[in-house]
Copies of this chain bind each other. A is one copy, B any other.
Amino acid sequence: MAEAKHHGSKQKSQLDRLLNFSDGVFAIAITLLVLELIQTLHAQPGERLLKKCLEHWESFVAYTIGFITLLICWINHHIAFEYIRKVNTTFMWINGFLLFVVTLTPFPTAVLAEYLGKESRTALAIFGVNYILIAIAADAICSYAYNHHLIDEEHREYYYSYKLIYRYAIFFNVIAFLLCFVSIVIPIILYSILFVFFAAPKEFSSRLHKRRINKKITRKNK
């Protein structure tokens, strides 16, 4: 018993460090975005302040998109780890892949800021690749945690819905990415829908969970 408890507390401290490290990476990536914004100030010295700010509107748009992207990422990470109880080396690498994409995010954000006015489709497509990678990483985390029983067993059924929404997100993101080469308005609408859904992943997956349970009951009753 004491052994089990000791083991439990060691597991907890391992998970704690993983979360601490991840929170640190998220916090830094989200704060580094402002450096790109400050850069615009040094661009043409001598110009009037307000004119300069208005001319660089793409930088402000890109900053806001980058910030919301990383905040959504963090909220989803936060919620996906709520039921996770232990970690192993493989899982640390899968989480490491997510962090890789997170630390990379300031790059497509800078691309947006610089090329949104000039090569909007290519800039959007590069940001789209980032989203696909995030969705793959999120799916990998949830699937691995589910399949290798790293989660709280009583929420196993519920956690399955998380797995599903990130699986759907991959396909959704691939479609949005491909449409970047055809249109500029449609992918923006698609990404906005994505934002709305993953802004509250708990509510989104809860609904999916209820629907799945209702289906099961209907099937049983047949």
What are the residues of chain B within 8 A of A79 when measuring CB–CB? 89
What are the residues of chain B within 8 A of A93 when measuring CB–CB? 71, 75, 199
Residue of B nearest to A123 (CB): B49
Q: Mark A19-44, 1 if CB is under 8 A from B, else 0.
A: 11101111111111111111101100
What are the residues of chain B within 8 A of A118 when measuring CB–CB? 49
Task: Report how far A29 CA is from B34 CA in the complex, Å.
Answer: 9
Which residues of A from 50 to 75 have beta carbons under 8 Å from B?
Answer: 50, 53, 63-64, 67, 71, 74-75
What are the residues of chain B within 8 A of A37 when measuring CB–CB? 104, 107
Nearest CB of chain B from residue A6's CB, rounded to whole Å: 9
Question: Is B17 touching A24 in the complex (CB atoms < 8 A)?
Answer: no
| A143 adjacent to chain B (CB < 8 Å) | no
| A187 adjacent to chain B (CB < 8 Å) | no
A: contact size bracket: 35 or more
What are the residues of chain B within 8 A of A78 when measuring CB–CB? 14, 17-18, 92
Task: Report how far A50 CA is from B125 CA in the complex, Å.
Answer: 11
Nearest CB of chain B from residue A215's CB, rounded to whole Å: 25
3 pairs of A and B residues whose beta carbons are closest in the complex: A24-B27, A28-B31, A38-B110
Question: Is A203 touching B106 in the complex (CB atoms < 8 A)?
Answer: no
With contacts A103-B30, A103-B33 taken as known, whether A75 is within 8 angstroms of B49 at the C-beta atoms is no
Interface CB pairs A-B, < 8 A, 8: A14-B78, A18-B78, A21-B23, A24-B24, A31-B103, A41-B114, A89-B199, A89-B200
Nearest CB of chain B from residue A80's CB, rounded to whole Å: 12
| A164 adjacent to chain B (CB < 8 Å) | no
Question: Is A21 touching B74 in the complex (CB atoms < 8 A)?
Answer: yes
